[in-house]
């Protein structure tokens, strides 16, 4: 059903973004996979080609609105369409609030929240013209529940809920759905630094007693961007092993 569609997945070099890219490509979607360097998404593209799919690697800093605009111009010229946008790029700069530097606040908000806005603003133009679109923003369980040491990250991820719901209302009549996925704790580079003690404490708060996999998130995204999810918009789908219900 998605064969021939074109998707942009931000932060697709590894982790959740890579799993989402592979999943969409396996459905016949052409995936534009971004990373912050020219070659960062090459491994993802190679894996997609190896499984018989089609993809291209692109460098993009989502916080740079001029770069986002330029990429969308390129997508319009080369593909003439964008059916699916997955705003997955995200960073953390953790620290207690009383010691948090302006630069740590700004870079996390600029990448996670403004970066998503930058891409949605451009995608909405292409999708409106086509009267079709699927947007999924990757938020987080901590955007719902908060987390000490992550004031900047949690604010950015909570902001995505308001952004998602507003855009869903704006774009609904154009046949464009906008949803958020809120993963719990997922095994990726982002959580690899968790100390063993912290990991054990964390597992006690997860009813399923395991961290999630990037594929767990990719399957949820794959559903929300499918034509079958046509009547679902403005929603938050939690993928967290029952951690926050
Ligand atoms: P990850 O392994 O750290 O990968 C982050 C990705 O974002 C990389 O591809 C990175 O590209 C890209 N990126 C970073 N800054 C960027 C920028 N300014 N512009 C464009 N791309 C940028 O992260 P992950 O664990 O897969 O997480 C993916 C998303 O899920 C994030 O939004 C994260 O907040 C969210 N999430 C993760 C978890 C978890 O437990 N892992 C839980 C909830 C939500 P480079 O390779 O070039 O640096």
Can you spell out the DSSP letters for 134-180? EEEEE--HHHHH--TT-HHHHHHHHHHHHHHHHHHHHHGGGTEEEEE
* Residue 139 Cα: closest atom of ligand 1: 44
In the chain, pLDDT over 70 holds for what percent of residues? 100
Nearest CA to ligand 1 atom 9: 11
* Distance from the alpha carbon of residue 18 to the mean position of ligand 1, in angstroms: 10
Residue 198 has pLDDT above 90, yes or no: no
d(CA 133, CA 122): 12
* Distance from the alpha carbon of residue 97 to the mean position of ligand 1, in angstroms: 22
User: What mean pLDDT do residues 128-150 have?
Assistant: 98
Residue 173 has pLDDT above 90, yes or no: yes
Residue 245 has pLDDT above 90, yes or no: no
User: What mean pLDDT do residues 137-164 have?
Assistant: 98
Angle between helices 151-171 and 115-130 (to 10 degrees): 10
Q: Is residue 245 part of a domain?
A: no
Q: Is residue 203 part of a domain?
A: yes
Nearest CA to ligand 1 atom 41: 186
Q: Is residue 1 part of a domain?
A: no
**The predicted structure's pLDDT at residue 64:** 98
Q: Is residue 244 part of a domain?
A: no
Q: Is residue 155 part of a domain?
A: yes
Residue 125 has pLDDT above 90, yes or no: yes
User: Residue 212 carries which DSSP code?
Assistant: B
**The predicted structure's pLDDT at residue 47:** 98
Is residue 152 exposed (0-12), middle (13-18) or buried (19+ Cβ within 10 Å)? buried
- CATH number at 228 reads 3.40.50.720
Angle between helices 115-130 and 65-78 (to 10 degrees): 30
pLDDT band at 1 (very low <50, low <70, confident <90, very high): confident
Q: Is residue 224 part of a domain?
A: yes
**The predicted structure's pLDDT at residue 193:** 83
Return the higher-pLDDT residue of 191 and 138: 138
**The predicted structure's pLDDT at residue 156:** 99
Question: What is the number of domains present in the chain?
Answer: 1
d(CA 67, CA 27): 28
Kindly provide the b/e burial profile for residues 89-107, where b requires at least 16 CB atoms within 10 angstroms of the residue's own CB: bbbbbeeeeeebeeebbee
User: Residue 38 carries which DSSP code?
Assistant: S
- Give the mean pLDDT of the chain: 97
Q: Which structural domain, as residue segments, surrounds residue 203?
A: 6-238
pLDDT, tens only, 82-123? 999 999 999 999 999 999 999 999 999 999 999 999 999 999
**The predicted structure's pLDDT at residue 210:** 96
116 phi-psi bin (left φ>0, alpha ψ -120 to 50, beta other):
alpha
């Amino acid at each position: 059903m998605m064969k021939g569609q074109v998707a942009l997945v931000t932060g697709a070099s590894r982790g959740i973004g890579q799993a989402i890219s592979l999943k969409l490509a396996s459905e016949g979607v052409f995936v534009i996979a971004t990373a912050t360097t020219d070659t960062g998404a090459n491994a993802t593209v190679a894996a997609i080609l190896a499984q018989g799919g089609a993809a291209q690697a692109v460098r993009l800093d989502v916080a740079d609105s001029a770069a986002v605009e330029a990429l969308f111009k390129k997508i319009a010229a080369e593909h003439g369409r964008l059916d699916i946008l997955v705003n997955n790029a995200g960073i953390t700069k953790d620290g207690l609030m009383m010691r948090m530097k302006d630069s740590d606040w700004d870079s996390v908000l600029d990448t996670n929240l403004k970066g998503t806005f930058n891409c949605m603003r451009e995608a909405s133009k292409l999708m409106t013209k086509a009267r079709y679109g699927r947007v999924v923003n990757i938020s987080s369980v901590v955007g719902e529940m908060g987390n000490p040491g992550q004031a900047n990250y949690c604010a950015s991820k909570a902001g995505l809920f308001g952004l998602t719901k507003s855009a869903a209302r704006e774009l609904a009549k154009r046949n464009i759905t906008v949803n958020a996925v809120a993963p719990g704790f997922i095994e990726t580079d982002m959580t690899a630094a968790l100390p063993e003690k912290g990991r054990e404490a964390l597992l006690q708060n997860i009813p399923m007693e395991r961290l999630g996999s990037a594929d767990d998130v990719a399957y949820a995204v794959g559903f929300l961007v499918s034509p079958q999810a046509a009547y679902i918009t403005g929603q938050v789908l939690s993928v967290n092993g029952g951690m926050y219900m």
